[in-house]
Structure formats: structure tokens, C-alpha cells
A = this chain, B = another copy of it.
Amino acid sequence: MSQHTTDTHAMMQPRYTGIPTFMRVALADNWDDVDIGLIGVPYDGGVTNRAGARHGPREIRNQSSLMRTMHHVTRINPYALARVADLGDVLFQRLLKHPEALDEIEAVFARVKSHGIIPIAAGGDHTISLPILRALAKDRPVAMVHIDAHTDTWDEFQGSKFSHGSPFRRATEEGLIDPTKVIQIGIRGAQNTTDGWDFSREKGMRVVFMEEFAEIGVDAVIAEARRVVGDAPVYLTFDVDGLDPIYTPGTGTPEIGGITTLEAQKLLRGLRGLNYIGADVVEVAPNYDTTGNTALVAATLMYEMLCLIAERLAATR
């Protein structure tokens, strides 16, 4: 793996200047020179309520200009540890052909993987995690840390097996994730049936409902997550509706009574050293983000993920 680091010159400029790539890193022409790829998936064809996550990547890029290089807690500078690039957006030819469009997502991430790049994706609705996993985990089921208000292990919606309520049911069925190595954190909210909750439990996922989260605290949740995941290859997926909607109003299916950003930051920082194969932040719908805070939160979460992955990469190089 290369010893080169990312050019962070653009990050030194005033935050409102320049073209808004993710973190203002370069848009990669050549994927051979990239260790970690920040990539947008502007797709929300699987939502069940309010659309808008298709605009997520662009607004997260915009707000990510407020990010900087060195982490104030861990003092990690991910750009010194790995070569980080913006891979652009997944481009589509069949956007109105849901779920065929998911194949287009999978194809791009297969290419990402073939270049040895670890992707951090910005959604898009949660449906996108399924084709990403199809690309990254096709060889063997992986572990997963999943922050969300919903288990996303529900079944059909409106005639389709593929919606943002079902990706991890499908991923389990397809052998992409090992449900016994999955932890779901922040789950809450009334439902019309118990089907999804039951699926998660019956398959062996560790479901931390919000009430348990509040009861046992972040440190205990971190310990639990590390126990569940162990040293397995792990995918990290963060639906911003796992947070309370006061932090992330710009999302499609808000659920009150959620996680705070301070807790989320602590949680992620507690997951250093895991064997990451990829990550995503999903369900940012800027058209509902009246303060812009949702995209700022998402950009900051991507930065935290970037630190985690860069550190691991450097450690195992």
C-alpha cells in the first residue's frame, strides 16, 4: 500500500470557497491511487414516505467543507494515514427502473472493491446498503454495526421486496451479512406488525432498542458492539434517523426520542480498530433540512468514519 498521503491544501481555504467535493479532497481520475473512497449514491427510489435523499450526496459534500484534518480527541489526521479521494457519484441509466437501478449501484461498488478501495458512501436512502453489500460481501457474510431508528429487516412494501425498510432482511437471506454478528442500535417507534423486530431477533441480531440504549449508556453499547462484531470484516451503516430528529430533521421517516450527536460521536470513537470493509451514511434529505444541520451531522459522521478506517488501514499496512 502506498505511503503517499492526501493533498489537504484545499481544506485550508475558507470554508465557502472552491468546488464542494467531499471534504474538498480531489475528485479521483485514477482509482488506482486511492485507499479510501468517498462516494455519493444519489438514489431514493426505495423510500416509503418522504423522498429527497437523492439530494443527500450533494448537500453532504457542501457541508463537508467545514470539516478539517486533525481529530480533536484522537489526534488522528486521516489524510496523513491514507490516500483519500472523492469518487464522484454513482451515475444511473435506469433510475426509473427500481429495483434494476440497484444493480447499477452494485456494479460501481464492485469496481471500487476491485481497486482495493474501502468506500464510505453517502446516500441516498437505506436501500443502497443492499447493493453495496452485494459488491463488498459477495464472498462471505460480514459483520455489521447498524445505527438506525428501524431494524430495516421488514418484508415487502407496496409490491416490492426492495425498499429502505428491507435491505438487511434481503442481505441476511442473500448471505451477505451474518446476523449473529450484527448489532442494531437506536431502534424505536411504533410499527404495524412485529415482523421486522421478530426477524432480527430470530436470526440472532443484537437489537439495542432506544430505551435500552438510554438505560445502559454508550460505554456499554460500545462494549456490546465490539463483542458482537469481534474481529470479523465489518460494515458500518449509519441511518441519520437513528439520531433524534432535532439533530437530523432532514430525513424521510423521523422518529422522536433518539440518540444525541454527542453519543453518536462517542459510539463511533469507541469502535476504533475494527476490521472495516466499508461504511455508509444514509437518509439525508436536504429538502427537509431547514437548518442544514442534518448534512453537517452527516459530514461529521463521515469524517469520524474516515478516521476509523484510515487508522485501521495504517495499522495493518
Residues of A whose CB lies within 8 Å of any CB of B are: 8, 11-21, 27, 40, 42, 44-46, 48-52, 54-55, 58, 61-62, 66-73, 75, 86, 88-89, 91-100, 157-160, 162-163, 187-194, 197, 209-211, 214, 244-247, 249, 253-254, 256-258, 261-262, 265-266, 287-288, 290-293, 296-297, 300, 303
Contacts and interface: CB of A to CB of B under 8 A. Distances in A.
A19 to B, nearest CB: 6
A269 B141 CA distance: 39
B49 A52 contact: no
A91 B18 contact: yes
A293 B249 contact: yes
Nearest to A27: B19
B192 A159 contact: no
A105 to B, nearest CB: 12
Given A68-B191, A73-B209, 17 more contacts: A15-B48, A18-B89, A19-B27, A20-B20, A44-B51, A50-B55, A70-B191, A96-B158, A97-B158, A100-B159, A210-B262, A214-B262, A244-B262, A254-B293, A256-B293, A256-B300, A287-B288
Which applies to chain A's interface (DSSP): helix, strand, loop or mixed? loop
B245 A190 contact: no
A68 B249 contact: no
A14 B256 contact: no
Contacts of A292: 249, 288
Nearest to A287: B287
B211 A14 contact: no
Contacts of A94: 158-160
> 4 tightest A-B contacts by CB?
A51-B51, A94-B159, A96-B160, A95-B158
B95 A287 contact: no
Given A97-B158, A192-B70, A265 B261 contact: no
Nearest to A53: B51
Contacts of A54: 14, 16, 51
A96 B257 contact: no
A303 to B, nearest CB: 7
B96 A162 contact: yes
B245 A291 contact: yes
A257 B253 contact: no
Contacts of A211: 73, 266
A298 to B, nearest CB: 10
A296 B254 contact: yes
A290 B287 CA distance: 10
A50 B262 contact: no
A18 B54 CA distance: 11
Nearest to A297: B256
14 contacts: A17-B92, A18-B89, A19-B19, A19-B88, A52-B52, A58-B62, A70-B194, A72-B187, A72-B188, A95-B157, A249-B291, A256-B296, A256-B300, A257-B262
Given A66-B49, A159-B96, A296-B245, A91 B17 contact: yes
Nearest to A246: B246
